[in-house]
Each structure stands twice: as structure tokens, then as C-alpha cells.
Structure 1
């Protein structure tokens, strides 16, 4: 299947707000055909133009800057090669992308107009330029046509009076399709001093091609900026809905009683209370989302941004896992706004995926259309055009982080920074020794955090150094090292985990106490 059909089919699968600003690939192909006709009307057929540009590249590579001298009469011309210099460039004066051909011609020292019949002058066509054949006189005469005949609408007498060294070809913006066909060119008047003549030919249809491409990409960039604004607004709305539906215990009146430094850590207890909140459901959803790694992989073997196919597959797998665990219905999501927030969350991910598809399709379409332009017209994109390379950029780069040069990565980062931190994760508040919730939290003098049960074990073993930094802070820790603020936070946001950790700590402390007394806690009680 041709890329044009594949590109069209891909655009049909995208939503209208993304599809309407896509690159008009077929229209650009039609403009390339018009560029070929425009060059043909000037006698610069692709094979001729390609040969001239390749000769110029080889000459520049060898450092050959010498100009070929041509005798005054037509007879010696047949025995000497005439190599014009052709450069394809962008005019930077207007601030727009205006392609043009700049040609330098080595002219004869003197030329009598009577030596060449007028009919012969009119019949010379620069499209017939080939390498001079020293055995064929007709071939040499056709080669000379490039030196003189370049544009039909040029006025010879005005060129001699106004600009003896540079010829600016008239703008042919009103040229019709019939006028773009190959025509016969008059011979331009040449300098009698034998100095190189510089001729500038603006390419109207080529300018239209780059103007259409540049306009499409700029419109796409503007549209992407607007979509990014809408995305951030929707993201804020979703984050508020999730925050309202995933409320902690303290959101209910008289259901949470915070502790203070005046409290006794040994008497702290947690009662399991039912709370009409989807906190744990959303925590499970976000945990599944992080594990799915929909858009970026943290795997050491293959880190970085994933392909569209991989992202689409992982997003589908994430949705299936959410459904299998009952997180998409009323079994676990109790509130209506949670269902709406989950739907919006999935839509945001689909939007990022569609943006990735559009960005990749436009990048591929731009690459292919520029390649087709260079192949059909033999006009390569001028090297070193940094300004126009920026003009043809799909979207602006991130100012804060240059590596984030694509909108999908910016959206993924915004998603991770805005939504995921809403629900505190238990791994961020776990003890590094037992890997469970660090309840009751003890903050050592060095600043590291551990649960009280693990520190008590270390003190009984006489291990006085901090497991993290080896500071001698374990044996001197007491009740003053209890982090009451963090304890209240854990009890509020991790009530179930804190309740389980407290019961496990009490059970383990009881078993140790029995062992110290000489009893086996695993032995069944025997009544005599």
C-alpha cells in the first residue's frame, strides 16, 4: 500500500480536532509536479539540474575555484568546456521560505550578434545541456545554451542598463499551466569583458510548495499548543474529582483524632472504620498504571519512550486488569464521580496515544514529501539552513527541559506530576528493614526513618549504627524520636496498613516476651 493511502487511513482513525490540521500530503504531491513543470519551462530538467549540482559539489570538494575562459568567437567555443555554477538556496531577506536558483555563467570575451542567427537563438533550449562532446559540434552548441538562455520573459536591454552583473528573473506567479511547458529561450546579452554573470531565478511553484508545508506545520504547532492547554485544564479537573472521591479518614467529622507529643506512644491504637471513600480503589488503579508503564519503560534492557504499538498494547492491558479486579464498576468504586474520573483518565491516555500517532504520521509525511521533492526536482534541501529547519519544526521544544522535544512526552510528564501524587503510596513511607509501613515512625538523629519494632530489635542486639548512614544514633533513640506528624499522616491515609502493622507488632512483641520467660508461644496450652 502506498504511503498516501496509509496516511489517509491513519488520519481517518484520529479524532476531528487532530485530523483537521494534518499535512495535506496529496496536495503537496501536486505542487511537486508543478515545480517540475516550472523547471522544465526554464530548461532545467531534473537530469540536467542534478548533473550541474553534482558537478558543483565535486568542484567545491576539490577546491577548484578556477573559471573556464572562453574565446570571443564561436569556433573556439566548440573546443572548450563551459561549466556554469548553480546553487539552490533560500532567500532569507523576506523572512519567508523563498527558494531560488543562483547561477554564475562564464561568458565569451566578445560576441557579435550577427554570428548567431536569430532563429537559432530562439530555438536554443537549456534543457538540452549535456557534457560537451569534442567530436560533435552540435552538442557543444547546445551546451552553450545554458550560458545564455535562462528565462523567456527577461528583457535584454533592461538587463544591460540596470544590472550588468546580476540578472533577477521576473516573478512568474501568474504563469499558467500552459506557460510552464518547455519553451524556446532567447539568448541573453553577455558582458563583453568576459566576466562571470550572476543570474537569480526565483522558483514560484517551489515557494508555494514550501509555503504550504510550512503553513501546515505551523498550524499544527499552534493547534498542539491549544490542545496542550485544554489537556492541562482537563487534567486539573480530573485531579480535583479524584481528590474529592479519594478522601482520607480525616475528611469525616469526629472520625479522626490526631496524636501529639503529649500522647503516650504505647497507648496508640487504631480502630478500623468504614469510610465512604474510593481511596484504596484509586491507589490500586494508580499502582496498576505505574506497573503497566504505558508510555515509558524503566526496564534497564530497553529504557525510554515506547513505540505506538507497544503503548497501545499496554494501555489495553491496563484497562483489562482494571476490569478484572472490579475497579471499573460499583464493586469497588462507590462514588459516581469516581466513575467519571476514571473515564476521563482513560480518555487522557487515549489522547496522548492519538497525539503520538499524529506526530509520527506528520513526521513521516514531511520526510517522504521532502524526499520526493528532492527526487523529482533534483533540488536538495540546502544544507545549513538552521532558520528554516526551525521554521519547519512540528512543535516547539520544552524550554525547561530540551530533551522533552515531543508533545506526548510533555503530556506524560504532566500526567505523572499532577495525578499520581494525589494518592500517597505506601512504598514512600515504608521501613527499609521490614519493607512494611513504618508505623509507629521513629526518626533518628541522622534523619532516617524506621518503624519502632525494627529499632527495638536493633537495640536489643546492641546494634547502635544507623543501617543507612552508619551514624551511632540507634542506641540513643527514645520516645522523643517519635515523628508524631508522620504518625497522624499514616493513620489518616494508610489506616488499613497502619492497623495491620500495629497488630503484627503487638503479636510479635508478645511472642518475644513469652520466649524471654521461657515459654514457647507456638506450643498449645495444656490444662492439667
Structure 2
């Protein structure tokens, strides 16, 4: 191939036979890596399914280790091993956060009373370590392959570095495999542990005791709904569904969920009842003070208009 640029002439020779051999070897490497990823995925799924069964037993409501596991679940999510500010962590960043999690988790694991809890926690740590190791393997090999292809492109003036991965049926050049593993840990596995935060009222951010489910399907605690109705806030605070709050009645009480909350979160329910009692007493005291400060009036007070009450 010749290039003419004014009086300069450049000749580039490409040995197609050698390039074909090189690219075929790269394709073989990709296929081997893909097969390796499939084997890892199969083993990982087997291990995580076994861990799920045991975790469900030790973290179930009423078990001796229910609350230590809930604290571990909360700590793991707060540590955010796999992401940071919406971006996926590198394997080094994930390792640092994972070590931080292990250090803090000791405060909860030392409260285990069931031998199986220790076994499950060790399995949980191994699943995370396996995912980090696989992530490290991917990132190092991705970098190495890109460097090899880049050097090849520099010598041959081809564009294999960008083009070749698109012609090979593999997830190796994406984070899909690692994302699947981390998703299984953070969602499929840990979601087994009952979490009271899933049932929090979006207004007060507390456990939705006596949960009211609006017609738009959003959930609120009874206390906040009564307050919203008194203030004539007719629409849903979340989705703005028209008159969803206004039309809520005692029929909107989610009795099935109330039973679940009472069974799964007895400690939180007791704390919430105590909190609501204190809030009510404080409100009554403030209302009494306001009435005492007002001048005497013979006008009949208007009754509060609250459908739920």
C-alpha cells in the first residue's frame, strides 16, 4: 500500500497470513475466557443457592440471631462494597471496602448464638472474596489484551483493538459477569433477610405501623395519613395521584402487611408504639397550652374532619 503526500512516499506491508494467525489465536483466547466465566458462574450459583437456604433459616423472624443478621445486612449495604457514587468500583476499591465491612461486622458476629450463623457468615465472606478475585482477573486480563491489540494495531495500522471484541461473542470486555455475581449477593441473597426499612413511611421515614395503602399502591403510616388529611393534602405525596389521600378510609388499612410487620419486626413495632404514644402526649400537651392561652369563646369548636379516624 502506498501513500503519496507531496514528495513523500510511504510503503506499508501487511502480512495477512501472520495477522490471521494472530487474530485466530486471540479469538481462541476469548472463547477460553468465556468458558472459564461460565464455569465460574455455575460454581458461584451453586454456592450462593446453598448459602441462601442456610441464611433463610438463621435470619428468620424469631430466631436467636435474627437481629445480628439484620445489622450485618444494614452494614453491608451502607459500606457499599461494589459501587461508589453510582460508579462501579475497581477490584482494589472493592477490596478496601470489603475489608472495612469485615472489621465492622465483628461487632455483630460476636453476638451469634447459633453455630450455623458462623458457617453462613463464612460462606458469605467467601462469596464476596470470590467475586472480588474474579473481578481482579477480568480487569487485569482486559488491560493485558487491550495492550496486546493496541501494539498490534500500531505495527499493522489495523483497528483490531476496537473492532475485534465486537466480532467475538463474549462478555469478557464488559462488566456483565461481575455485575451478575454482585447482584446475586446484594439483592438475591441479602433480600432474604427481613428489612424493616422496606416498609418505612416516606413521610416520617419510620416503620409504617398500621400501614395505609393508598389506591395508587403507595404505603404510609396511619399517623402521617391522618395528619395529611387534617391539612387537606388530598393527593399522594409520592406520585401525586389525585385525591389518593383524601379518599383513604379504614378500608385502606393493609391488614396482611400489618400481620407481617407484627410477626417479623416485634422489637421495631414496640419501639414505634412507644414513640407514637410519646408524640401523641406531646401534641395533646401543646394543644392544651394553646387552648389555655386563647381567650374564652362560646363558639362551638368545629370537629376535625378526618375520614380515617
TM-score by length of 2: 0.79
Q: How far off its partner does 1:314 sit?
A: 0.9
Matches within 5 A, 1:298-447: 299=85, 303-323=86-106, 325=107, 327-329=108-110, 331=111, 333-371=112-150, 378-381=155-158, 386=163, 389-390=165-166, 396-397=170-171, 405-447=175-217
Q: How many residue pairs are counted as aligned between the two chains?
A: 288
Q: How far off its partner does 1:486 sit?
A: 1.0
Matches within 5 A, 1:121-520: 207=21, 210=23, 212-248=25-61, 275-297=62-84, 299=85, 303-323=86-106, 325=107, 327-329=108-110, 331=111, 333-371=112-150, 378-381=155-158, 386=163, 389-390=165-166, 396-397=170-171, 405-468=175-238, 469=240, 471-513=242-284
| Contact 1:276 1:334 survives alignment (8 Å) | no
In structure 1, the partner of 2:294 is none
SS of alignment partner, residue 419 of structure 1: helix
- Structure 2 distance, partners of 1:381, 1:371, is 9
| Contact 1:404 1:410 survives alignment (8 Å) | no
| Contact 2:60 2:194 survives alignment (8 Å) | no
In structure 2, the partner of 1:199 is none
| Contact 1:465 1:472 survives alignment (8 Å) | yes
SS of alignment partner, residue 19 of structure 2: strand
Report the aligned-residue RMSD: 3.4
| Contact 2:59 2:65 survives alignment (8 Å) | yes
Q: Which runs of 5+ in 1 are unaligned?
A: 1-55, 63-81, 91-97, 101-206, 249-274, 521-528
Larger displacement relative to structure 2 (467-476 or 445-454): 467-476
Cα gap change, 1:422/1:88 in structure 2, threshold over 3 Å: closer, same or farther?
same
Q: How far off its partner does 1:470 sit?
A: 6.0
Give the structure with the higher percent helix. 2
| Contact 2:153 2:161 survives alignment (8 Å) | no
- Structure 2 distance, partners of 1:407, 1:276, is 35
- Structure 2 distance, partners of 1:321, 1:484, is 37
| Contact 1:441 1:482 survives alignment (8 Å) | yes
* Residues 488-517 of structure 1: CA deviation (Å, up to 9, x unaligned): 111122221111112222333344445556
Cα gap change, 1:281/1:431 in structure 2, threshold over 3 Å: closer, same or farther?
same
| Contact 1:440 1:452 survives alignment (8 Å) | yes
| Contact 2:14 2:156 survives alignment (8 Å) | no
| Contact 1:437 1:497 survives alignment (8 Å) | yes
| Contact 2:52 2:189 survives alignment (8 Å) | yes
Cα gap change, 1:85/1:420 in structure 2, threshold over 3 Å: closer, same or farther?
closer
- Structure 1 distance, partners of 2:203, 2:11, is 80
Q: How far off its partner does 1:425 sit?
A: 2.5
